[in-house]
Structure 1
């Protein structure tokens, strides 16, 4: 499924096993020349930009390094760019608030209708829907602004790959 809020990529790396690839990626992330802040949990890495380079639209890269099921003993990368955790939380909270407001507007508008008043409360529903549709559009704008930063994040991974698999 395509997720416009979180661009993804997947890549097979057939000449290298999972443990070796993870070591190479972590070494690249820790290097003095172009390393990036990161956290590792098993085969999952979270990579972000240094605080001095971060903006509201700055992405994080979540990277999973797993064994390729079709070719045992080789690695498969799965990467997903996401908003920073605080932005992701704010985004989900915004959707929650919009849903609650739309529900409350629907209940209030229906109550108005039942007592014979003009059900202006129902106008909250399309207003919330409009704002909800605007969020993915704002996400696209943020991704356009963050394109260079996404390149920096994925560039570190590229440097860790065997030369025969670099783009």
Structure 2
């Protein structure tokens, strides 16, 4: 199985149906974690595997691969994968979006109240123009971050394939 540019850019989720045992897959990642040459930090919690970039190579935009093993039948599992930003980065961006959205709603209310009271409302109207521009900037920053992490995502995917031997 190979990964193309569009798989990463447009569909960072994937599913693999494997004819392997859940314990066998977990053992493969635990063994890979113990190897000194492992290029990634691997955490295993129950049926969840988190693959992160090593701290020395990590940067703000470094991605994380979250794998979940779902047992379907005996000797058959579904491996669900999700590429995404580290939880800290995701939380930070969601916080910024919440602040911008709240400010936009507040400025909209402020502008409406000022207009009904026949007061000037220059600042809230300016903010109603500036805040969507900030939203656009957040989108561009997120896209740039995804581009910065694309090479690491490909390496993580190749590492996962090599570890699972599929």
Which TM-score bucket, shorter chain as reference? Answer: 0.7 to 0.9
Aligned to 1:57: 61
Give 1:35 shift. 4.7
Q: How far did residue 137 of structure 1 move?
A: 2.8
Q: How does 1:30-49 map to 2 (within 5 A)?
A: 30-49=34-53
CA root-mean-square deviation: 2.2
> Which structure 2 segments of 5+ residues have no match?
1-8
Q: Distance in 1 between matches of 2:17 and 2:132?
A: 40
CA contact (8 A) 2:39 2:54 kept: no
Give the alignment's TM-score, normalised by structure 1.
0.82
Uncovered stretches (5+) of structure 1, i.e. residues with no partner: none
1:111 match: 113
- Equivalent in 21, 29, 35 of residue 33 of structure 2: 29
Give a deviation string over 1:54-78, Cα, whole Å, max 9, x none: 11111111111112x4x55312111
Distance 1:124 1:51 in 2: 39
For the 8 Å contact 2:47–2:68, the answer to whether it is kept is yes
Please say which of residues 119-128 and 105-114 is displaced more in the overlay: 119-128
C-alpha separation in 2, matches of 1:65 and 1:126 = 46
Give 1:3-152 correspondences, 5 Å limit. 7-14=12-19, 16-67=20-71, 69=72, 73-120=75-122, 121-152=124-155
TM-score (norm 2): 0.82
